[in-house]
Amino acid sequence: MSAVANRHPGRPVLILDSGVGGLTVLREARVLMPDRRFVYVADDAGFPYGDWEEDALRARLVELFGRLIAEHDPLICVIACNTASTLSLEALRAAYPDMLFVGTVPAIKPAAERTHSRLISVLATPGTVRRQYTRDLIEKWAGRCDVHLVGSVRLAALAETYVRGGFVDEASVRAEIAPCFLNEGERRTDIVVLACTHYPFLVNRMRKTAPWPVDWLDPAEAIARRALSILPVPVEDEAVEPKADTAIFTSGHPDPLIRRLMQGFGLAV
Ligand code: DGL
C-alpha cells in the first residue's frame, strides 16, 4: 500500500481520451471501483487523435498530463485511448516517474488466445494502425495468426455523432468495417478487435452491418481491472466525504448535447 495514497485518501482516478470514447472505460471502472472518485478528461481540443503527426501528439500529451497531474493530483492516470497509449505511454512514464499510468492498447493477445480461425482483424484509428507498438504486439502475441490491421478515418467521429444525438450513418459503418472481413479458403475472420475506445458505442450497428457474426473484442473491462489491480487499497478510517465525479473539456466549451451526455454518466461538467 502506498504511503502517498494514505496521506491523500480523496485523490481521484483520472481517465483521459480525446473525446467520449473513454466513457466506455469509465463505465466499467465505476462498476469495479464504486468508492473511487473519477475525473474524466476529454481532450476535445485535440480530437481526433487518429490524424495527428506522432511527435506533435506525444508532446501535447506530455504537456497536458503535466498540467492535469498538477491540478488534480490523481492517484492513477488511465489513458483510455489506444491512439494516445500506443504513442506516448513510454514518454509519459519517463516524464512523470512517480505517477501510475494504465494504458489501453489493442487487445491482440486475448484475440490470439480466443481465435479459432486464426484470422483476426484489428479495427483502429489510422494512428494506432501505423504504430510500431501495435506491430510489436502482433509479433509478440500473435505469431500463429494472420492479423489484419484496418485503419478507419471515420468511425471515431461517427461514434461522437451517435452519442450526441443517437444518429448513426449505417452505410458508413458498413463501409468502414467491411475491410475487417476476410475469407481465406476454409478460414474466415472470427474476431475483430475494437482498438479504439470510441467503437464500442457503435458495436450494435457493427453487428447489424457485418457480413457474418464475429466476436467484437472490447477491452474496457480489462483496462478497468488492470487499474483496480494496481490502485493502492484505501484505508477505511481515512475515508473522506464523497465528491462528485467531474468531466473536463480541454476546449473549455463542450456542446450542450455532450454536456448532457456527461451528466447522464454522472459527471459534473
Ligand atoms: N478513442 C481513441 C482511441 O482509443 C481515438 C479517437 C480519436 O481518433 O481521437 O484510439
Find out whether 217 and 192 touch, Cβ atoms under 8 Å: yes
- Tell me whether residue 177 is in a domain: yes
- Tell me whether residue 139 is in a domain: yes
Q: What is the pTM of this model?
A: 0.92
Mutate to test the pocket of ligand 1, among 57, 81, 123, 199 (most ligand atoms within 8 A of CB): 81
Find out whether 100 and 42 touch, Cβ atoms under 8 Å: no
Per-residue pLDDT, 9:
62
Per-residue pLDDT, 93:
98
Spell out which residues line ligand 1, taking CB within 6 angstroms: 17-18, 21, 47-50, 81-83, 125, 128, 156, 196-198
Kindly give the distance from the C-alpha atom of residue 124 to the centroid of ligand 1, in angstroms, as a whole number: 8
Q: Are residues 112 and 211 in the same domain?
A: yes
Per-residue pLDDT, 234:
66
Q: Are residues 195 and 259 in the same domain?
A: no
Per-residue pLDDT 10s for the chain (269 aa) are 443 444 456 899 999 999 999 999 999 999 999 999 999 999 999 999 998 999 999 999 999 999 999 999 999 999 999 999 999 999 999 999 999 999 999 999 999 999 999 999 999 999 999 999 999 999 999 999 999 999 999 999 999 999 988 889 999 999 999 999 999 999 999 999 999 999 999 999 999 999 999 999 999 999 999 999 999 776 665 555 667 899 999 999 988 999 999 999 999 99
Q: Are residues 211 and 129 in the same domain?
A: yes
Q: Are residues 135 and 169 in the same domain?
A: yes
Instruction: Tell which atom from ligand 1 comes closest to the C-alpha of 128.
Output: 10
Residue 214 and residue 128: Cα distance in Å, rounded?
22
- Tell me whether residue 138 is in a domain: yes
- Tell me whether residue 9 is in a domain: yes
Per-residue pLDDT, 51:
87
CA distances from 15 to 67, 73, 162, 222, 260 (A): 14, 13, 21, 15, 19
Mutate to test the pocket of ligand 1, among 15, 20, 82 (most ligand atoms within 8 A of CB): 82
Q: How many domains does the chain have?
A: 2
Per-residue pLDDT, 237:
53
Residue 256 and residue 164: Cα distance in Å, rounded?
9
Q: Are residues 86 and 112 in the same domain?
A: no
Find out whether 13 and 76 touch, Cβ atoms under 8 Å: yes
Q: Are residues 190 and 233 in the same domain?
A: no
Kindly give the distance from the C-alpha atom of residue 213 to the centroid of ligand 1, in angstroms, as a whole number: 24
Instruction: Tell which atom from ligand 1 comes closest to the C-alpha of 80.
Output: 4
Q: Are residues 28 and 68 in the same domain?
A: yes
Kindly give the distance from the C-alpha atom of residue 53 to the centroid of ligand 1, in angstroms, as a whole number: 14
- Supply the residues annotated as catalytic: 81, 196
Which structural domain, as residue segments, surrounds residue 144?
108-218
Q: Cell numbers of 83, please? A: 491512439
Q: Minimal CA–CA distance to 165: which of 29, 268, 267, 20?
A: 20
- Tell me whether residue 269 is in a domain: no
Kindly give the distance from the C-alpha atom of residue 40 to the centroid of ligand 1, in angstroms, as a whole number: 15
Instruction: Tell which atom from ligand 1 comes closest to the C-alpha of 83.
Output: 10
Residue 85 and residue 21: Cα distance in Å, rounded?
13
Instruction: Tell which atom from ligand 1 comes closest to the C-alpha of 84.
Output: 10
Specify the CATH number for the domain of residue 156.
Answer: 3.40.50.1860
